[in-house]
Structure 1
Amino acid sequence: MHPPRRYKVPNVTHSPRASLLLDLHPVINGALKELKSAHRRLQAACAEFGRELQILNKLYYKGYNQHRLALFWKRTAEIRKYGRRVDDADIVSIADVLRSSFFGPEAQVNPKIMRGSWSHLPDRDFMSSLLKRAGEYRQLLDKTHERFVNAYQHLNIAMQTGAFIQFLVVLAAVVSRMDILVEEITDALVLMCKSGQDVLNIIDPASATETRPTHRMPSGNDVPTTTPSIEQTDVTDEDFGDVLSRPSAPSWQDDPHPLDPNQALLSVYQDTEVVSITRTVVTVESSEAAAVPPEPPSQPKAKKPKRSKRDEIDDIFGFM
């Protein structure tokens, strides 16, 4: 079993609050307010992440003997490994140490002191070390998020087979929940780094002016306008052939002013040979019989049935 990945907090040298100019106190107040919000978010998200990791460990031990040879089980073991790394990192401890450094050494023993206003200021090396460690945790969280997304997609594909569908659904739900918590931890960590960087810029103004080299695309001014001539090259006896004369461009291309589209099109047709194509239309005279549709044949009218003559018996019995 690997040793816990704990961060050894460096020693901090506190400076009194009076050593800082009064004009810079509002910046520290705003940074501490953001740091307090980030600390609460980290506490809630990391505690929930630990509970989800416990559920994943129970599922892992329950299905290890049955599913250890399955393909989706490799993804399950991978997300369990990354989940344990995030849990062992104890990211909340960095926020605790960073926040307590503004209230003196007594804040580690008595956390109730942090309910009041800040009274001390940490040194530059302490802040730089904590921010560097927070950046390493950010890389771990980004990698964990990437592996969780891949595992979730793989579990969805495994569900299509229909085998062990209930177990796969539970695993996918746990992975999805853990990935959401990883994103929440990442956002809170970014907020903590922002507030810590604001404080570091106050403590050491030289760190605010440091700029990282960025990759810049070459602009038009960076492209050299001169090309090496043939005389500067080592090849002198090579035959380059005769110079060919190229036809001059049409006059409408040299005109810098925009032309009317009809005039430009007309000038192109004047400079080029246009082959005319004649089309012959053949008309066929139809006869009158073909032009006039034939009349439909008249249907014979239905003959009405003849009524039989009435006799005396019909009059007696009333037959019509």
Structure 2
Amino acid sequence: MTEAKVYPEYEGQEWDKHYQFLYEDRLKTIHKQEHTSASLQECHEAIIQKALCLAIKKTESEWGQPPTHFAFFLMGSGGRREQSFWSDQDHGLVFDSDEEQDEHYFLQLGKEIVFALDKVGYKLCEGKVMASSPKWCKSLQDWKQQINKWLKDDTWESLRFTLTFVDSRSVYGKEELLDDLKKTFFQAVEANPSLLGRLTENTGRLKKGIGLFNQLLVETKGKHKGQFDFKQIVLFPYVNALRLLAIEQQIYESSTLSRFQLLPEKYNEVKRVQRLFEEMLEMRLIWHRNTKNYEDIHHLNVKELSQLERRQIKQWVREGHKLYQLIEGNLKKGGSA
């Protein structure tokens, strides 16, 4: 089994001090340096790995060594390597055992991981998509059964869980366990092609971003009233479209950029849009460099944008909607984009 790496600065069991040290490290490396999107993902990865180390070591000190092989995986923006400066938690655990006591162990480990990540600045997932939940912490066989059940149930919620899982990426442990789960999923979709159309319907409600007078549409109520939802309106049409193509093409990679790159030549018309997606990831960092919390990281104050920036956003919105609608239309028909 993979053994948790021992970082010299984390030796000993003064866990609160370790978490505070790591949080301060996060502030220095993530929030006080110039970043490209790629370098920011590397910094997040380093902080998350160290938090995992602390969680595993603390669990081992109280519960003993892990009883079997396991893999810890990220989902959401972390799984896709698309995190901004602040991010919430979306993750799971799979372990290679069917013993009930082993499930108790890994649920405890999951709770410790959630605690550690929260301490170092990763907000708890409101939907509880975290390894502390029995839904997202299971044995290999139970995970396979759950994936097949989600697809068989064919409800909006079960398909949403499935799409969340598709963006998973192993960051610790035995990566083959997660690959095995993805293989199970791909085989199920291949055996029942109509599922791809149903998954497409699940992400097909695109949030309108441009009004009748060519203005960017902002939130009309709530905490972000008057602000523009960059995540839902700009990013998600590209993310959702490339996820669907990854399912059709059985691409195991979870990042949107990798999915663009791994598409076959027949998708050259889709692949050309990669440049736009790269641009929006970089511009997002410029706009949010001084954002102080997770709650505000996905919205923009339109009044602070230049006319050139607004035109750029409108282009991204139009191209993203066009891309998604092209793929949606073809996949619903059972063809390729």
Q: Same fold (TM over 0.5)?
A: no
Highest CA radius of gyration, 1 or 2? 1
Higher relative contact order (CA 8 A, sep 6+): 1
Question: Quick check: which one's strand share is greater?
Answer: 2
TM-score, L = length of structure 1: 0.20
TM-score, L = length of structure 2: 0.19
